[in-house]
Amino acid sequence: MKTIILRTASDYLLPVLLIFSIFILLRGHYLPGGGFVGGLIASIAFVLHSFANGLSNTKALLRIHPGFLMPIGLMLAFLSAIAPILGFDLPFMTGIWMHEPISVLGTIGSALFFDMGVYLVVVGVTLTIIFTISESA
Amino acid sequence: MTQQLVIYPLLLQLFLSIILMFSWKKISWQRVISIVGGFVNIAVSIWLFSYIWENGTQTVQAGNWPAPFGITFVADTFSATLVLLTAISGLVVSSFSSASIVVARLKFGYFPIFHFLLLGLNGAFLTGDIFNLYVWFEIILISSFVLITLGGEKAQLEGAVKYFTLNILGSTIFLTAIAVLYGLTGSLNMADLSLKVALIENRGLVDITAVLFLIGFGIKAAVFPLYFWLPDSYHTPPSAVSAIFGGLLTKVGVYAMLRVFTLIFVADEFLINTILIIAFLTLITGGLGALVQNNLRKVFSYLIICHIGYMIAGLGLYTEVAIAGAIFYLIHDIVIKTNLFMISGLIYRIKGTNSIRSMGGLYADSPKISFLIAIALFSLVGIPPLSGFWPKISLLSASFSAENWWIVGGILFASFITLIIIAKIWANVFWKDKVELPKRLNFRYFHKLTTVKKSQMIGPIVFLTLVSLYIGFGAEQIQQVSSRVADELLNNQQYIDAVLNNNQNLN
Amino acid sequence: MEVVLAIIIGVLYAAGIYMILRRSLVKLILGIIILGNGANLLIFLLGRITKGSPPIIPGDSNVFLSAYADPVPQALILTAIVISFGLQSFAIILIKRAYQVVKTDDLDEMNEIDQDS
């Protein structure tokens, strides 16, 4: 699969897809999108890169093992889920929202952090699965 | 803070798994975190249990969404008891596994996955939402897949394929049942479903849905004729893994049956007869299966199936005495089956084999350990006044008063056959003259282990034996708990009120 | 539409169970996947198919202005898809390992554990 067209294209596609995945992540609360879809798009970006440039290059690009993203994402989701218990004495996973919207991002609430956690977990899980399968193939 | 108490056992297990994932490579840290976390978990579970015992059923609405719309977590006495038992089994197994499983296996994430399994178990016991129950079942399932294949030996992989296929089939049937139920009622909250299912006029459709649930949970609980995956897979993984599987995984299926068939589908003639026939055949086939096996852990696997029959029979008789007996048996069974598989692991470490015929002379070699094992085996049979005796009395008296002689026969048959099996094990493993086995190279025999490891293996068995002695001698207290659970299950209005009337408090 | 979907679901269930009953491991996995898809479609169908807008209330209103599709079945299907994604990738790795160790694709030949003492 190491054609020059795909390799050149994937260099440009990787950042575009990553930015698109973050866009999908951020619009997710009221519109179609969210952490799961965003995470899938981000992992597709890396999978495409690995098809074009080889698995070892993608791993070098990632620096850390993708599996390490799983506990980080879980921790982020976990903290956003227990924040209402610790801070406000509300049932867990209750959405806590800032009153004033911020430009570009919109209103920030605990749901956004939960989604970011999901995003990281999905990227971690998907890349670990695909890397494992393609390594042992 | 106590308002959210219901959710704490869940959050604690999730937190532990995340922490354990962060220390993925550091096995010695993982051991310490897992055992300390187990103690904290017991403390939280006792807190939850005593709070529920004092104040009655508690609920938490996740995300603060009012009851029929959001996911509700409910802790009644039944859930709290099972969460406590999960905590006890979890602690002893994490201690036992840190001594008995080799590091080469532990480093593939044994402890994080183990705590995800406990998370799934706690979630299944505490949730009040039928689809959420499905999700917790899947968490249990996928964690158990990893645990059962960890190490990747040939026998394990063969067993795992069977385990995997039938359990996925069970989940799909469960999902189908949820789909039909949602189509009928438009609700997923179990308390709400209880009210809505009672109003449906097409009872035939309700019965079919109930049968779908029965098949789905029956595969998980390993009842006749859906149990064949269990004896083919439970003896393959390390005995610590078998201990948590044998103690708790099939019991989740039993829990789900007891919950669903008392709350959502209030039993009618057809359902009760189906459940009773299944219970009778499970008692007979499980017992006969155990009789012919030679592998110690396969014998125990068949005994799991046989004893599931008692609990299903208690559900099928559907009186307060019978359900109290089933709950008592459930409490006894979780403790004793976890203990049995750990004992089988201990015997394997001492002897280096699982074959009953080639063992012998254990009593002459180590009388203290043999005495300990004897107590556990006698509790299993139910020699009075040990723990297996009391629930059988309740079940027998319930089936006598229902004049259901088939079930009386099945219960007596299963008890006697258990006695025969235990006598056979005792005669072969403990009293028979020692058979000289070839020494296995590179095998970590029990006498080669360090004192710390030895105490980490013996300690859990001593602790669980003490717990089952307590269940036997303190039977009155356990009987109180099980009667109260039976009362709450049969008078489900209390549960429904606790879930649905919580809305007013929120607004 | 309902009739077509009902027939498709029936075919998917039948095909899935048929594939699970075959002896080949690969067909087993395919059967599980097809059966899972059938179950997902069943949730979709039984959640009532409505021609309506997505269940999102416009910002300047407090109630739904037009007929809307029930979001719960979609959420259930999404959850079930995510779960089966995890299970299936595990299954593929499992049969691959099993094939490497046992050296056979035939389920009937995977009976060694029954023979040991």
Say whether A70 and B62 touch across the interface (CB within 8 A): no
Give the pLDDT confidence score for residue C114 in this predicted structure: 55
Q: Does A31 touch chain C (CB under 8 A)?
A: yes
Q: Are B226 and B335 in contact (CB under 8 A)?
A: no
Q: Are C86 and C79 in contact (CB under 8 A)?
A: no
User: What one-letter code names the amino acid at B87?
Assistant: A
**Looking at chain C, which residue has its C-alpha nearest residue A29?**
C56
Say whether A92 and B11 touch across the interface (CB within 8 A): yes
User: What one-letter code names the amino acid at C63?
Assistant: V
- Print the domain residue range for C84: 2-51+68-112
Q: Does C94 touch chain A (CB under 8 A)?
A: no
**Looking at chain A, which residue has its C-alpha nearest residue B61?**
A91
Give the pLDDT confidence score for residue B1 in this predicted structure: 63
Calculate the alpha carbon distances from B65 to A83, A95, B71, B269 in Å. 17, 10, 8, 37
pLDDT per residue over A18-69, tens digit each? 999 999 998 877 777 888 899 999 999 999 998 888 888 888 888 888 889 9
- Torsions phi, psi of B294, nearest 5? -115, -25
- Between CA C57 and CA B71 the distance in angstroms is 22
What ranges in B127-153 are assigned the alpha helix state H? 130-149
What residues in chain C have their Cβ under 8 A from chain B's Cβ atoms?
Answer: 20, 25, 28, 32, 35-36, 39, 42-43, 45-48, 70, 72-73, 76, 79-80, 83, 86-87, 90-91, 94-95, 97-98, 101-102, 107, 110-114, 116-117
Nearest to C97 among B142, B145, B152 (CB): B152
Q: Are B145 and C94 in contact (CB under 8 A)?
A: yes
Please report residues of A whose CB lies closer than 8 A to that of C78: 36
Residue B419, token pair as written in the block: 């006695």
- Between CA A104 and CA B322 the distance in angstroms is 63
Which residue bears the tokens 């294209």? A9
Asked if the interface predicted TM-score (ipTM) of this complex is over 0.90, the answer is yes
Of B423, B393, B412, nearest to B284 (Cα)?
Answer: B412
Say whether C96 and A136 touch across the interface (CB within 8 A): yes
Say whether B157 and C116 touch across the interface (CB within 8 A): no
* Paired strand residues for A106: A102
Give the pLDDT confidence score for residue C117 in this predicted structure: 45
- For residue B153, how many C-alpha atoms fall within 13 Å in the half-sphere facing its CB? 13
- Print the domain residue range for B91: 2-506
Total count of domains within chain C: 1
Name the minimum distance, in Å, from the CA of C98 to any CA of chain A.
Answer: 13
CB atoms inside a 10 Å sphere around CB A12? 9
What ranges in chain A are assigned the alpha helix state H? 4-26, 35-53, 55-62, 69-83, 110-136
Nearest to B236 among C36, C101, C113 (CB): C113
Residue B118, token pair as written in the block: 């406990």
- Range A70-75 average pLDDT: 94
User: What one-letter code names the amino acid at B408?
Assistant: V
Please report residues of C whose CB lies closer than 8 A to that of A31: 56
> How big is chain A by its Cα radius of gyration, in Å?
17
Residue B224, token pair as written in the block: 């006749």
Say whether C93 and A30 touch across the interface (CB within 8 A): no
Q: Are strands B72-75 and B58-61 parallel, antiparallel or unpaired?
A: antiparallel
Residue A111, token pair as written in the block: 């749901």
* Paired strand residues for B61: B72
DSSP string, B27-46: HHHHHHHHHHHHHHHHHHHH
- Between CA A2 and CA B287 the distance in angstroms is 61
CA dihedral (A42, A48, A52, A57) in degrees, to 10, reads: 40
Packing angle between helix C25-46 and helix B154-185, nearest 10 degrees?
A: 10
Give the pLDDT confidence score for residue A84 in this predicted structure: 85
Q: Are B229 and B167 in contact (CB under 8 A)?
A: yes
- Between CA B195 and CA B185 the distance in angstroms is 10
Q: Are B8 and B83 in contact (CB under 8 A)?
A: no
| Regions of chain C where pLDDT drops below 70 | 112-117
Q: Is the peptide bond before B385 cis (omega within 30 degrees of 0)?
A: yes
**Looking at chain B, which residue has its C-alpha nearest residue C36?**
B172
Q: Are C33 and C45 in contact (CB under 8 A)?
A: no
Give the pLDDT confidence score for residue B506 in this predicted structure: 45
CB atoms inside a 10 Å sphere around CB B348? 20
Total count of domains within chain B: 1
Q: Does C56 touch chain A (CB under 8 A)?
A: yes
DSSP string, B191-236: HHHHHHHHH-S-HHHHHHHHHHHHHHHHHHHT-TTS-THHHHHTTS
- Consecutive 10-residue runs of chain B (507 residues): their mean pLDDT? 84 93 88 93 95 90 84 92 94 89 83 94 94 94 90 83 90 94 90 90 89 93 88 87 91 93 86 92 92 89 92 91 94 93 90 82 85 90 86 92 91 93 90 78 79 87 93 91 92 88 53
Cα-to-chain-centroid distance, residue B80: 14
Calculate the alpha carbon distances from B239 to B39, B242, B358, B408, B445 in Å. 22, 5, 19, 34, 15
